[in-house]
Structure 1
């Protein structure tokens, strides 16, 4: 069993060295080394580089990334300590991230436009809403309930999210939707509890909608919020998949797809992708239960795409 686990870990580590992100590669390298964060800190200190255990943990989970010269020295040393090729970690960092309010992707995460396979139209919607996608909120948990109707059509999506602020004075957040069917229309968004709908921008030709949800109270660092919202009237025609893009790490993700009794698929699978246009990976067949419900549960989700697809016949 241990040999199988090691082979799986080695494969994931080799993949992360090719594709990143930095946080995933660091996490897998630490797992492969069997070193604790305290042991890593001790070895760094022995080489004259001081980095706290909490900072190492943040780098590993994608909560922050090394940028200061001392931090970059630590990353170069980590490559040696973790027996990685030179520049394996530092090469995943890319350019220093921009400072300011309009950051559209998190440290160690995915650029949202690139993850969706979007373009200038999508970027324009983000700018027009004027609320940064990652504005001091961590998604602790996201739960999607996606409904499919009797003629195999998309009925709606209900999302429940648990949020925690890691900055002060956070009052709103952004949600995005992509419609890939040319016959589809922008969804109608409704706040269920814990928030209200603010500015909404859509580009029907590009197939994107970006909306602002305003929290029912202003959050300071460490405060949490639970919000629920729905998207309905989403599309015409037959659907055979649903996915969510995670530009930043999420502690827990639950996806449930509820099929109408008149439209139950023959087979169903979960899958992951690095970005939307990338090939599937970690595909696994799922069971559709007696209540016509299939689900996926994922913990400690790295920046990626996670979804479910099915075959009707």
Structure 2
């Protein structure tokens, strides 16, 4: 947690080090102002920017939005007594957004069209992802953790539709929640399709091309029936997708394999358990599916 105290100002070293956050950190350190003092000075000039936002700007956790924050950055230049343009010229231009090659979840999973699986035009793109799955000694999937790197397709991008499978009629649905950078809202279930649908909502909207990392978790009920496979769906091409399965150390599987399906073709890989877990990674992959299967 940032306490609002001044950071130590250090000159950026090396080629390409003069990033906005590095220049801001140096300027703050030289002036000896705390983030609270900066926030108050900005407030006096009509700029409502919190200390947490200033902290993210200083550390590089997030940059200012050029359209809405450029005047505030110019005011910061005056407060910090640096030349005009010293900070504003270092603001990064928006990242390039690639073409929309998204395929709806229902299409990739070969499900019939329905209102439940209908998706709006995506405003967030998955650029890469990792899934961790925890399987107990009775072959029940108890927990999944999804980490995803998202990119905004337009300014103000904030929502993405996600799905969870293996929702059985006689078993309580999993508890799903965001654990990093997002919340899961508008959760609903279709018993016939055995699917759970939710909207992943970022804690803050993105600019076009901006990136953010999120994490979400699914906790399965204790009465969950045994399963022997889990499928990860990639609705669009991603730089990498990693699937990691962690088994109960007291009961590792006898055999594991990965089935990869994309572009009308399939490939199978044998997976060797290491330390009671297996992993498979695909690079420059999607749209498609990765299914990890195991037997005892």
Q: Same fold (TM over 0.5)?
A: yes
Structure-2 change in CA distance of 1:182 and 1:283 (3 Å): farther
| CA deviation vs aligned residue, 1:50-105 (integer Å, no higher than 9, x gap) | xxxxxxx99xxxx43xxxxxxxxxxxxxxxxxxxxxxxxxxxxxxxxxxxxxxxxx
Task: Provide the residue aligned with 2:292 in structure 1.
Answer: 308
Cα–Cα, structure 1 residues 184 and 262, in superposed 2: closer, same or farther, change >3 Å? farther
Query: CA 1:180–1:281 in 2, change beyond 3 Å: closer, same or farther?
Result: farther
Cα RMSD after superposing both structures: 2.4
Secondary structure in 2 matching 1:288: coil
2:180 to 186, 189, 193: 193
Higher Rg: 2
Contact 2:259 2:292 in 1 (8 A): yes
Q: What secondary structure does 2:280 align onto?
A: strand
Residue 166 of structure 1 and its aligned partner are, at CA, apart by 2.4
Query: What is the TM-score with the length of structure 2 in the denominator?
Result: 0.62
For residues 26-48 of structure 1, the C-alpha deviation after alignment (integer angstroms, 9 at most, x for no partner) is: xxxxxxxxxxxxxxxxxxxxxxx
Q: 1:118 aligns with which of 103, 111, 116?
A: 111
Between 178-187 and 234-243, report the one with greater CA deviation. 178-187
- C-alpha spacing 1:116/1:186, structure 2 compared with 1 (3 Å): farther
* SS state at 1:114 partner: helix
Corresponding position of 2:225: 237
Q: Decide which moves more: 151-160 or 181-190.
A: 181-190
SS at match of 1:124: coil
- Structure with the bigger percentage of helix: 1
Tell me, yes or no, if the aligned pair for 1:183 and 1:236 is still in contact at 8 Å.
Answer: no
What TM-score do the two structures reach when normalised by structure 1? 0.59
Q: Who is 1:53 aligned against?
A: none
Give distance in 1, aligned partners of 2:171 and 2:152: 35
Aligned residues: 200
Report the 3-state secondary structure (helix = DSSP H, G, I; strand = E; otherwise coil) of the residue aligned with 1:113.
Answer: helix
Structure 1 spans left out of the alignment, 5+ residues: 1-56, 65-106
Equivalent pair of 1:152/1:263 in contact (CA under 8 Å): no
Aligned twin of 2:154? 167
Which whole-Å CA distance do the structure 1 matches of 2:167 and 2:189 have between them? 13
Contact 1:186 1:207 in 2 (8 A): no
Give the gaps of 5 or more residues in structure 2. Answer: 1-95
Out of 136, 142, 161, the position equivalent to 1:149 is: 136
Relative distance call for 1:181 and 1:287 in structure 2 (3 A) is farther
**Following superposition of structure 1 onto structure 2, how do residues 178-189 of structure 1 map, counting pairs within 5 Å?**
178-179=165-166, 183-189=170-176
CA distance, structure 2, for counterparts of residue 274 and residue 183 of structure 1: 33
